[in-house]
Amino acid sequence: MPDKDRSTFSATILAALIAVIAFKLNWSVPLWSESVLIVWPVGIILGLIGLATYIYALGYIKHISGSIREGLKQAADFVYTLAILSPILLLTLWIVTEVFYIGSISFRSTVNILLPLVFSTTIQAIIAAITIIFSYRNAKTHTQIRQAKLVALLAKYENRQLEKATVLFKQRFYSESILEAFKVIDLALKRKIAQHEGYVDLKLPYQLLVQKMQEKGYISKADVARMNEIRLLRNRAAHMDIEFDEAEAKKVIDEIGKLLTKLNHSS
């Protein structure tokens, strides 16, 4: 097992153990125990943090698809936010319970006793709902931030590869410039998918990238035909002892520039 996979597996198991032990500790303490006010909050916080870490680590296990990985990250963000907010939530719920309990014992009739209980339960439900909604929105915001960072990173690599191809072209390394320019298409396709879907598998083969882009309607059949022509030229430059001339290399770089323009301006 590679070191990275071993580390991921270890983190997953450790996080799962922390979550299980923490939640089990809570169940072992009776609600009427004097220590419940200390054990339960600590157990809930540790349990949620362990669960969040476990979910996040699952996303880095080998052979998990990009969509599942992104979903696990969002779920981990949600649970982690709940863990961070849980001390405030638990304290607020406890205060509400105590206030309404003190109010209820001052009444003698059953109706007057039940009324504070109903109010208390309603307020607690509202507070819990607000916490859950906030955690969900926070997780969604983190997902959007990750998406923006990924798109920006791919755009940065695109520009770098295009500059490298241009430099090689000016130095008259025409075959090498074609090889570098082709990498720009691969990065641009991945960036486009990341923009629309929020994630992209960076290891996705070129042919599957093109197929996915066409299925989603991001590129036309004509675009695919042009990309295939460029790919064939790239394969010739990579695998055959052929030196391309200036005109051929310029044509490839110009075609790639047109495709990039179209991708950047398409919805």
Q: What is the DSSP letter of 33?
A: S
Pairwise CA distance, residues 233 & 252, whole Å: 8
Residue 120 has a CB neighbour count (10 Å cut-off) of 19
Q: What tens-digit pLDDT sequence spans the chain (267 residues)?
A: 344 455 555 555 666 666 666 556 555 555 445 555 556 677 777 777 777 777 777 776 666 666 777 788 888 888 888 888 888 877 777 777 666 665 555 555 444 556 666 676 777 778 778 888 888 888 888 888 888 888 888 888 888 888 888 888 889 888 888 888 888 888 888 888 888 877 777 778 888 888 888 888 888 888 888 888 888 888 887 776 677 788 888 888 888 888 888 777 766
Span 206-220, pLDDT tens digits: 888 888 888 888 888
What are the structural domain ranges in the chain?
3-147, 154-265
In CATH, what class is 154-265?
Answer: mainly alpha
Instruction: Provide the b/e sequence for 157-188 (b: ≥16 CB within 10 Å).
Output: bbeebbebbeebbeeebbbbbbbbbbbbbbbb
Q: What angle do CA 178, 182, 183 make, to 5 degrees?
A: 125
Inter-residue contact 51 to 108 (CB < 8 Å): no
pTM (two decimals)? 0.64
Burial class of residue 119 (count of CB atoms within 10 Å of its CB; 0-12, 13-18, 19+): middle
Pairwise CA distance, residues 160 & 134, whole Å: 39
**Which of 139, 154, 84, 94 lies closest to 120 in space, CA to CA?**
94
